[in-house]
Chains A and B, each alone.
Chain A
Amino acid sequence: MRTSTVVIGAGHAGLAVSALLGERGIDHVVLERGEVANAWRTQRWDGLRLLTPNWLNRLPGLAYDGDDPDGFMTMPEVVGFIDRYAAAVGAPVRTGTTVTDVRAVDGGYRVTTDQGTWDAPTVMLASGAFNLPHPPAVAADVPASVETISPLDYRRPDRLPEGGVLVVGASATGIQLADEIHRSGRPVTLAVGEHVRMPRTYRGRDVMWWMLETGVLDERHDEIDDLVRGRNVPSPQLVGTPDRSTLDLNALTDQGIELVGRLGMVRDGVALFSGSLRNVCALADLKQARLLDRFDEWARETGVDGEVEAPHRPGPTRVPDGPRLSLDLRSGEIRTVVWATGFRPDYGWLQVPVLDRKGRLRHEGGVVTDAPGLYAIGLNLLRRRKSSFIHGAEDDARELTDHLAAHLGA
């Protein structure tokens, strides 16, 4: 089969691209291994809600129109939102179609699937940034008596063995899982490396409102000093809950969760934690203060000061005096280890030489390097800080489809 553009993945990003290709009358197909919004349906834990408030969730041609603009969507609500979007824009989605091979051929690319082959001059990789868990190398050294699980397989606490849980990683995923697992009566120890601290609300407004209004979310990939670092910053310690509460390390400490340093090594069954806990917390406190300073400065300069509550600063992260440096995983204290250590895209089917030595896609703002007609969307800080958020797809999709259309026209 031939078409102008093959879009791989019918998540929010692939569908946003489809909508804009449709507006331009560019013939295309959206290939989806499962159903629309597949990862949101099948690879998220039951209690997860979006980190972005409803009013911010929009895609090209569809804004949130429900009655709870300050709420946070549950996963079924996200799936419903994306399903409605696919229908509204009439996306030509082929569900149940798994891409097995993409390679360069004369005039473009050949996309092989378990349902047939497409040839197209342009391909949009919209297959997601969170396909594979990324446990640390030390995961191989955890004793077999301890269960290990990634957030992609985790559903709810009661499926874990009774007993203690070591959650490794203190990003949004790590703190949320630590919170709900500890509440289930399984005592949690949380291994904390570098992290990003953020209050859910600041001066009465959601932190995402501040991030949007002050331009943080719109910072571009070509304006950021250290893109390697920028693309590797852990997701902020946020949770979307109906009461808009802040879930930071202090809140976890108050619950009785024990903080330890970054997991450095498992030796002879004993987990060893870095002595850097105090410093990573100090770094996160300082960085949060700089972010709030920036919000306050913007509020003063724009005259918003009078419309929001007075500035305030969260207290410093409370670090135990002598955090535990080792934990014997053979003692029975810990029954489960949860690897909240990030995710990676899966390009196992991509037979175009566009990956760097670490398996990352080489691209300039989603325009894949040395592969004319090949594009990517939905990756962390692809073109802007908001690129990995649902509402971040629109600007990226618009600019990338501009580029793609010019390539087709050339």
Chain B
Amino acid sequence: MATSETPTGNGVNVQALLDARAALVDAPEAAEFTWRATNQWQHGVHSRSTIDGYFGLGADHQHRSSWEFDADHPLVFAAEDNGPTPVEFVLVGLASCLTAGVAAVAQNRGIKLNSVKATIEGDMSILGILGADPDVRNGFNAIRVKYDIDADASGEDIEALVAQSQKRSAVFDVIANPTNVTVEVN
């Protein structure tokens, strides 16, 4: 990059990201982040998660403020619908991550974005979570994301943005690939 300005105006500080990459290659321990949330049961299947800090660059950090997210289940599950269903948070996580990636990659490639909108759907048979059919998995059997992107670029370049975004997406990786999960009781 010839300049640390953001000439295409997508609002992503690409230079900072490139500088960070250069610095972290020689200090990989600083690249180790731990993301955190706490989750408190409310009532029924309603819970509230709080996110306020994370670890990275060798130190604890606070977000600018603390955020709370209520999760519940809908009325058709005989629940109170005090918030999105946890699986909907997963869809939100994927869409947010991919869109951030689209913006960052566009910035890096000098592509000006006018509007980016994603629609995301996840298909699931609830026979799995109900334990009614051992052959049906609990989670999504398919996730589809559709992007409407208006940008000063060819259709092919826009396709390439979305492809590169998936390639570098943390949440895409989490969903599409297995992760070892440990759940313990204190």
Contacts and interface: CB of A to CB of B under 8 A. Distances in A.
A323 B181 CA distance: 11
A228 B177 contact: no
A326 B179 CA distance: 10
Interface in A353-369: 358
B90 to A, nearest CB: 15
A275 B182 CA distance: 9
A368 to B, nearest CB: 21
Given A229-B131, A229-B134, A232-B134, A279 B177 contact: no
Interface residues of B, number: 12
B134 A261 contact: no
21 contacts: A228-B132, A228-B133, A228-B134, A229-B131, A232-B134, A261-B180, A272-B177, A274-B178, A275-B179, A275-B181, A278-B180, A278-B182, A279-B181, A323-B180, A325-B178, A325-B179, A325-B180, A326-B177, A326-B178, A358-B133, A358-B135
B183 interface: yes
A322 B178 CA distance: 12
B132 to A, nearest CB: 6
Interface residues of A, number: 19
A264 interface: yes
A98 interface: no
A272 B178 contact: yes
A243 to B, nearest CB: 34
A113 B134 CA distance: 34
Nearest to A134: B135
B184 to A, nearest CB: 9
Contact of B177 (A229, A232, A325): A325
A339 B135 CA distance: 16
A277 B180 contact: yes
A276 interface: yes
Which 5 residue pairs are nearest across A and B when measured between Cβ atoms? A275-B180, A325-B178, A232-B134, A275-B179, A275-B178
A85 interface: no
Interface in A307-365: 322-323, 325-326, 358
Contacts of A226: 131
